[in-house]
Amino acid sequence: MSTPENSPILIVDDEPANLKLLDKLLGGQGYTRLTCIEDPREVLPSYARQRPDLILLDINMPHLDGYQVMEQLRALDDPLLPPIVILTAEHGRGHLLKALAAGARDYLSKPFDRTELLMRVRNLLDARRAYRSTHEQKAILEEMVRLRTEEVVATRLQIVQRLGRAAEYRDNETGQHILRMSNIAALLAGRLGWSSAEVELMLHASPMHDIGKIGIPDAVLLKPGKLNDEEWEIMKRHPEIGAELLAGDDSSLLRLAREIALGHHEKWDGSGYPGGLSGSSIPQSARIAAVADVFDALTSARPYKEPWSIERAVAYMQEQAGRHFDPAIVEVFLSSLEDIQQIRERYREPD
């Protein structure tokens, strides 16, 4: 059990007689972990080894004075920097204020009163133990909050993933398509300068791009042939339905998922839907998702079509740069084809 007597104490004084006196005085009161230093240049290495709970520090010393030692200790930016008691033969209010301003917690003039010194050492060690306990409790609470936050994020992510699977069950698209599309989108986002955290969000949010198809009637969604004009108008509602499903949550994940769901069918030239947005007025997340989604859809087999060859799909993407797609994203897409091929192979359809 931690007690004041087994708290490590660092004593710094260039006079051996003073060190011997303090060692004997404190040792006689049961303090067992005393480290005495004559050369103030050894304070930092000793501090790193001992991590003392109290420092008794002389002011006038060769090489480094007490003020310089305190400056070095403050530069460590240690949240648990221990209290420092100045022991000095210097008298006067100016020295007291200078020591306190430099970081000292207390100040005793030599020759010091034995009883006063012991009482101040005891009081400061008790306060130190209370502060350390509070600091440790704060760290425990912060860790509990972190773990709880991770749990909430993981739960939200699971819900999003299950919603994505629900949309897959209603459509002709497969889970492998969702994996390929989201990984390609994350790859492109990273190559476009998104941070690692933003790329992670893209990976988990982009599978929601077609969640609105849950609200499209089977007669339209699963029709094997070409949709007529009326059916096409119904189908074009799925971005807005998806946005409505994902609305109302302030998490960055669902905000991004909503942005992608609403905008991934907009086109660079303004001919897309549902808002007829054009150019940079379309969120970049949706522009990225559009490139990833269309390319994988073209190169994937569907009940109503054979897969396009890579060459044909790439030619189409180039042709549609500046029309359907953001030209800058197509450029990054083209320079990333080797990595995209690896993603397609990793998540290829089972035989």
pLDDT digits (tens, 9 = 90+) for 145-155: 888 877 877 77
pLDDT for 1 equals 46
Confidence of residue 81 (pLDDT cuts 50, 70, 90): confident
* Most confident residue range from 126-140, 161-175, 201-215, 260-274: 260-274
Cross-strand bridge partners of residue 342: none
> Mean per-residue pLDDT for 104-112?
82
Q: Has residue 172 got a pLDDT over 60?
A: no
Percent of the chain with pLDDT over 70: 94
Which pLDDT score, from 0 to 100, does residue 183 have?
94
**pLDDT the model gives residue 304:** 67
Mean pLDDT, residues 9-36: 90
119, HSE (Cβ side, Cα atoms, 13 Å): 6
Give the chain's domains with CATH numbers. 4-142 (3.40.50.2300), 171-346 (1.10.3210.10)
Torsions phi, psi of 31, nearest 5?
A: -75, 120
Give pLDDT, residue 286: 98
At residue 332, does pLDDT exceed 90?
A: yes
Q: What is the pLDDT of residue 312?
A: 96
What would the mean pLDDT of 306-325 be, rounded to a whole number?
Answer: 95
Residue 135 has pLDDT above 80, yes or no: no
311 φ/ψ angles, rounded to the nearest 5 degrees:
-60, -45
pLDDT: which is higher, 127 or 249 = 127
Total-model pTM: 0.60
Mean predicted confidence (pLDDT) in 275-298: 96
pLDDT at 79: 83
259 Cβ contact list (under 8 Å, min separation 6): 283, 285, 286
